[in-house]
Structure 1
Amino acid sequence: MNILFIHQNFPGQFKHLAAVLASRGHRVTALTLRVKDRTTWKGVDVLPYGIARRTEQKMHPWVLDLDSKVTRAESCYLAARELRDQGYRPDIIIAHHGWGESLFLKDVWPDARLGLYCELYHLTDHPHMGFDPEFPMKDPELEKLRIRMKNINNHLHFDMAHAGISPTRFQADTFPQPFRDRITVVHDGIDTDTLRPDPEAEFGLADGRRLSRADEVVTFVNRNLEPYRGYHVFMRALPRLLRERPNAQVLIVGGDGVSYGARPPQGTTWKQVFIDEVRGRIPDSDWNRVHFLGRIPYDQFISLLQVSRVHLYLTYPFVLSWSLFEAMSCEAAIVASGTPPVQEAVEHDRTARLVDFFDGDALVDQAIDLLEDAESRKRLGAAARAQIFETYDLRRICLPRQLAWVDMLGQRPM
């Protein structure tokens, strides 16, 4: 089959699926903003499309999101039309439609079957909206209207898509009927062969020190350090954790940007906002044990998880991070927020310890308890890896189900 992937940051969530489809003899092509020139990646023909500059135009702020999606969609449409005129005809289009890129592709290839990666439908009820009282909306009633506008892109895609795939039940269940019935829940998959415990693992710090399983390492990982992922709760818990665990080394992974939610005050970052808030309560000797690593190469990230004695994970009711599953696969002892997406993946005191998202003292209590209890760490870590192996393993579970979904998509009538 001719299979076309659409993702502005390809391969993104398709990194395993696209590669294995190419290895099985399918002609796999991708359109993306990520590259500037045509290239080949693991057998996939990766083609760039560019966004033309536009003159400034005034518009209502609620439609800015839709405008950016239509801009991408138009640019992707033009690249697709050029492919069509060169004779290319996809049997299947698989798109992460969240950025709008695939909005007009059925106009180019009306006979192609379209499958959507369904990351999230924006809901306006609690806890999806108004979860964190520290960051209240100026006008909740107006905010509901704005969020409803964000779903226009979803609804425009529903009428032309044949099927969807979503990595968790929590994410799939945000989508409304009847499209929810067309969504198959299959996780992106965790490579348990690579993400595995290693008693000999070491992680190097910038000052030349090497941390190992013999050290008391506490880890916290976000793509970006921001409230949606509980960074503020973690930072406020940090002074007590450092005070009560004088040998702990705290390793923090994450960028300075914003992936989700509101931006920080102009001229600063959420990372710095909460450093400034707590720094005065942390002596220099304790602060020297806090290591902000930024974003690190993946091999170093794996080593970090392998030396972690306790891994902390917090999130709003939102898309679940890969890092939680990756830590579980490495047999990390995890303390996590008991929010709905986390509760789908772990069970309290079987595969992790769960605490209220806002309860920093409970976070520290559970972390200290696990730091002092090697037997519980071993039990939770082993159960966490078993859960990943049985439910989210890339090669045994997820890829076969993803391939079955692609086969179904290729056969399914509208």
Structure 2
Amino acid sequence: MNILFLHNNFPAQYRHVARRLAADKANRVVFISQRVPGKIPGVTNILSKPHREVKAETHHYLRPTEAAVVNAQAVFRNCLELKKKGFEPDIVCAHSGWGNSLYVKEVFPNARLLSYFEWFYHARGTDADFLDPGAMGYDDAARIHSKNMPLLMDLATCDWGQVPTRFQLAQIPPVFHARLSVLHDGVDTDFFKPDRRVQKKIGNLDLGEAREILTFATRGMEPYRGFPEFMRAAALLMDRRPDLHVLVVGEDRVAYGKRLPEGEGWGQRMVAELKPDPARLHFTGPLAYGDYVKVLQFSTVRAYLTVPFVLSWSLIESLACGGLVVGSDTAPVREVIRHGENGFLAPFDDVEAFAAQIEEVLDTADDMQDIRAAARKTAVEKYALEKLLPRQLRLIEDVAAGRLPPRERSAN
């Protein structure tokens, strides 16, 4: 089977499935992306370079669509070169939103298209207006609604679609649901697993004597992931609990949402505002997986906040490590965490209540083995890679063969 993967980043959501497919010598696997930081054995990487930036004079509603079209043109040229060299995919697996797959069927009309839909945009009721509902004007609403144009083209063109969670499915218009499967990417629960004997040491940071460790770990420090709320709650707890250390993993940048002026970051802002004890507040920066999993294993409590938006893999990874998670009481988190059973929920926008919930868990952490076990069980039973990867491969095989609906049936 010939498989073509399309994603702006490599390997992103396709890391495990591309590796497994490439391990079979009967398959030819090609991956087109804009960034190739590493390699997967057996995968041919092609770098796609858009020929220009979005023009400043483009109507601001249409700039994301123009960017998608420019990306699609670059991928279109890549695909023409592949075709000249004799590569014809049986299936194209493409992340939808950046436009990569918009014209792929014009080059490969016989290929099946399996689209990965991560987020469908709404001006009201999810992420866009959550932090400041009163700020959403008509112009903003129209602009956000217009961002769905490339997604709608893919929804109309694809042979089948994949959505990682039911919350994310709920954002897509119901008329398309009959051709979508809810299938999470999966977490390697053999790697992300409990280890209560792990050393509390990351590089030069030694927390071996710390009795309590509160952790925040996401790619960026941003309002979308509740970083300001976390820092305010952490500052309250540091004042109340002199033995508490706070560990922040990630970059001081905005991965999602409105960016700050050049040179500014929310980490800097919150430290300047709160002035927490620098001896007990630790910023690690991005970590290699070996250190990152250690942080999840030795944390007393992991805080995870998000507006109603795409769910982070890190939440599932924390549960897989048997972590005690206090999450924001928002829809994507509620899909995974059941309060008092496999974790805890607290209001996103109530700093005092969020701090109180963390403090309650800190006070009783030694007596919560049942919560830890239930967290691990949730990850293993619902999100384990060893269970989901065969299902993903089966979905690809069925769509490539034209068996529609596939065995991984519709989302309804």
Instruction: Give the TM-score normalised by the residue count of structure 2.
Output: 0.93
| Mapping of residues 11-410 of structure 1, within 5 Å | 11-24=11-24, 25-35=26-36, 41-53=40-52, 56-133=55-132, 136-137=134-135, 139-205=136-202, 208-212=204-208, 215-279=211-275, 282=276, 286-395=277-386, 397-410=387-400
What is the Cα deviation at residue 55 of structure 1?
Answer: 8.8
Q: How far, CA to CA, are the matches of 1:187 and 1:325 in structure 2?
A: 11
Q: Rate the CA distance shift 1:57–1:126 in 2: closer, same or farther, 3 A.
A: closer
Moved over 4 A (4+): 54-57
Q: Amino acid of the residue matched to residue 363 of structure 1?
A: F
Q: Amino acid of the residue matched to residue 391 of structure 1?
A: K
Q: Rate the CA distance shift 1:367–1:97 in 2: closer, same or farther, 3 A.
A: same
- Between 322-331 and 255-264, report the one with greater CA deviation: 255-264
What is the Cα deviation at residue 238 of structure 1?
Answer: 2.1
Equivalent residue of 1:253, what SS?
A: strand
What is the Cα deviation at residue 124 of structure 1?
Answer: 2.4
Q: How far, CA to CA, are the matches of 1:213 and 1:402 in structure 2?
A: 44
What is the Cα deviation at residue 290 of structure 1?
Answer: 0.2
- Structure 1 residues 138-167: Cα deviation after superposition (integer angstroms, max 9, x where no partner): x52221111111000111112210011111
What is the Cα deviation at residue 204 of structure 1?
Answer: 2.6
- Structure 1 residues 191-223: Cα deviation after superposition (integer angstroms, max 9, x where no partner): 1111011122124356x3423597311100121
Q: How far, CA to CA, are the matches of 2:395 and 2:211 in structure 1?
A: 44
Equivalent residue of 2:310, what SS?
A: coil
Q: How far, CA to CA, are the matches of 1:30 and 1:242 in structure 2?
A: 47
Unaligned runs of 5+ in 1: none
What is the Cα deviation at residue 400 of structure 1?
Answer: 1.7
Equivalent residue of 2:97, what SS?
A: helix
The answer (yes or no) to whether the contact 2:249–2:285 under 8 Å persists in 1 is: yes
Q: Rate the CA distance shift 1:102–1:149 in 2: closer, same or farther, 3 A.
A: same
Q: Amino acid of the residue matched to residue 250 of structure 1?
A: V
Q: Rate the CA distance shift 1:105–1:278 in 2: closer, same or farther, 3 A.
A: same
The answer (yes or no) to whether the contact 2:304–2:315 under 8 Å persists in 1 is: yes
What is the Cα deviation at residue 266 of structure 1?
Answer: 4.9
Q: How far, CA to CA, are the matches of 1:323 and 1:111 in structure 2?
A: 38
Equivalent residue of 1:202, what SS?
A: coil
Q: How far, CA to CA, are the matches of 1:13 and 1:213 in structure 2?
A: 37
Q: Rate the CA distance shift 1:238–1:202 in 2: closer, same or farther, 3 A.
A: same
The answer (yes or no) to whether the contact 2:210–2:245 under 8 Å persists in 1 is: no
Q: Rate the CA distance shift 1:409–1:211 in 2: closer, same or farther, 3 A.
A: same
Q: How far, CA to CA, are the matches of 1:356 and 1:341 in structure 2?
A: 13
The answer (yes or no) to whether the contact 2:6–2:95 under 8 Å persists in 1 is: yes
Q: How far, CA to CA, are the matches of 1:124 and 1:409 in structure 2?
A: 33
- Structure 1 residues 329-351: Cα deviation after superposition (integer angstroms, max 9, x where no partner): 00111111010000001100001
The answer (yes or no) to whether the contact 2:186–2:389 under 8 Å persists in 1 is: yes
The answer (yes or no) to whether the contact 2:54–2:63 under 8 Å persists in 1 is: no
Unaligned runs of 5+ in 2: 405-412
What is the Cα deviation at residue 388 of structure 1?
Answer: 0.6
- Structure 1 residues 2-38: Cα deviation after superposition (integer angstroms, max 9, x where no partner): 01001111110010111111223321111111139xx
Q: How far, CA to CA, are the matches of 2:238 and 2:53 in structure 1?
A: 51
Q: How far, CA to CA, are the matches of 1:244 and 1:191 in structure 2?
A: 37
Q: Rate the CA distance shift 1:377–1:55 in 2: closer, same or farther, 3 A.
A: closer
Equivalent residues, number: 403
The answer (yes or no) to whether the contact 1:22–1:44 under 8 Å persists in 2 is: yes
Q: How far, CA to CA, are the matches of 1:56 and 1:151 in structure 2?
A: 19
The answer (yes or no) to whether the contact 1:118–1:166 under 8 Å persists in 2 is: yes
Instruction: Give the TM-score normalised by the residue count of structure 1.
Output: 0.93
The answer (yes or no) to whether the contact 1:212–1:307 under 8 Å persists in 2 is: no
Q: How far, CA to CA, are the matches of 2:74 and 2:150 in structure 1?
A: 16
What is the Cα deviation at residue 72 of structure 1?
Answer: 1.0
The answer (yes or no) to whether the contact 1:213–1:309 under 8 Å persists in 2 is: no
The answer (yes or no) to whether the contact 1:201–1:212 under 8 Å persists in 2 is: no
Q: How far, CA to CA, are the matches of 1:231 and 1:55 in structure 2?
A: 31
Q: How far, CA to CA, are the matches of 1:401 and 1:162 in structure 2?
A: 17
The answer (yes or no) to whether the contact 2:126–2:309 under 8 Å persists in 1 is: no
The answer (yes or no) to whether the contact 1:201–1:213 under 8 Å persists in 2 is: no
What is the Cα deviation at residue 130 of structure 1?
Answer: 1.5
Residues 1:6 and 2:2 aligned together: no
What is the Cα deviation at residue 117 of structure 1?
Answer: 0.7
Equivalent residue of 1:96, what SS?
A: strand
What is the Cα deviation at residue 177 of structure 1?
Answer: 2.8
| Root mean square deviation of aligned Cα | 1.9
Q: How far, CA to CA, are the matches of 1:172 and 1:9 in structure 2?
A: 22
What is the Cα deviation at residue 53 of structure 1?
Answer: 3.8
Equivalent residue of 2:391, what SS?
A: helix
Q: Amino acid of the residue matched to residue 367 of structure 1?
A: I
What is the Cα deviation at residue 246 of structure 1?
Answer: 0.8
Q: How far, CA to CA, are the matches of 2:191 and 2:234 in structure 1?
A: 31
The answer (yes or no) to whether the contact 2:6–2:100 under 8 Å persists in 1 is: yes
The answer (yes or no) to whether the contact 2:54–2:67 under 8 Å persists in 1 is: no
What is the Cα deviation at residue 44 of structure 1?
Answer: 1.4
Q: How far, CA to CA, are the matches of 2:288 and 2:304 in structure 1?
A: 20
What is the Cα deviation at residue 408 of structure 1?
Answer: 2.1
Q: Rate the CA distance shift 1:401–1:51 in 2: closer, same or farther, 3 A.
A: same
